[in-house]
Amino acid sequence: MLYKMSAVKKVLQVVLISMLAVNAHSISLEGTWQEDKDRTIQWNSANTKVDPERLDKLGLILGHYYIKYKNGMACGFFEPYTFEYEGEVREVPRLSTNLSKYEVVAENEFGYVIKTTGTDQTETIDVLIFEGEESFYGIRLDAEDFGFQGGRIYFKKVETVRWDFDCAN
């Protein structure tokens, strides 16, 4: 009987230790995320060899894209906005919404790997790296760098916005 109690204690110790080893730090992906223009420009100015003129042009259009993650659905959409370029004011309407399914492939204390499947069945893999509960940047695993090699686009968590009206619940 003493042997059985000792074995039970050892099993309980192993279970307790493994429970403590499981990362209690869990950042929720669910919610609405907006491009973080300031953080994106700041990081890329300091850490990439991207031409400053290209960063200035990028700064004109950043900050207007949102992604809403909820219940396995990702909904990407833009808010309408205007910007000035070469002395001309340009208006950008609210563009169509991009709906896709997503699944978390892997996660740890640093973020998520997600697989997204669009309505046209196109699949992408993204690595979302969190720098806190309210900020992440993503790396898409593909060969296209959009002339922005090594660059990062940051997102910040925001409250629900009025332009997500056609996103899935």
Question: For residue 133, what are the contacts with CB-CB under 8 A and spacing of at least 6?
Answer: 27, 157
Asked if pLDDT for residue 5 goes beyond 50, the answer is no
**Tens of pLDDT along 43-74?**
988 888 878 888 888 888 899 999 999 999 99
pLDDT band at 144; cut points 50, 70, 90: low
Give a yes or no: residue 156 inside a domain.
Answer: yes
pLDDT band at 137; cut points 50, 70, 90: very high
How many angstroms separate the CA atoms of 61 and 148, rounded?
A: 15
Give a yes or no: residue 14 inside a domain.
Answer: no
C-alpha neighbours within 13 Å on the C-beta side of residue 31: 14
How many angstroms separate the CA atoms of 103 and 16, rounded?
A: 30
Are 65 and 135 contacting, i.e. CB atoms less than 8 angstroms apart?
Answer: no
Are 48 and 150 contacting, i.e. CB atoms less than 8 angstroms apart?
Answer: yes
Are 92 and 79 contacting, i.e. CB atoms less than 8 angstroms apart?
Answer: no
Mean pLDDT rounded to a whole number for the chain: 80
Give a yes or no: residue 150 inside a domain.
Answer: yes
How many angstroms separate the CA atoms of 72 and 77, rounded?
A: 17
Tokens of 159: 């409250």
CA-based nearest residue to 40, from 57, 58, 66: 58
Question: For residue 27, what are the contacts with CB-CB under 8 A and spacing of at least 6?
Answer: 111, 130, 132, 133
143 is in which domain, residue-wise? 26-164
Give a yes or no: residue 1 inside a domain.
Answer: no
Across 88-111, average pLDDT: 90
Across 13-28, average pLDDT: 44
How many angstroms separate the CA atoms of 18 and 57, rounded?
A: 50
Tokens of 79: 């808010």
Number of residues assigned to the chain = 169
Give a yes or no: residue 141 inside a domain.
Answer: yes
CATH number at residue 89: 2.40.128
Give a yes or no: residue 117 inside a domain.
Answer: yes
Q: What pTM, to 2 d.p., does this model score?
A: 0.76
- The number of domains in the chain is 1
Give a yes or no: residue 17 inside a domain.
Answer: no
pLDDT at position 85 is 87
Q: Which of 13-22, 79-88, 138-147 has the lowest mean pLDDT?
A: 13-22
Percent of the chain with pLDDT over 70: 77
pLDDT at position 72 is 92
Give a yes or no: residue 7 inside a domain.
Answer: no
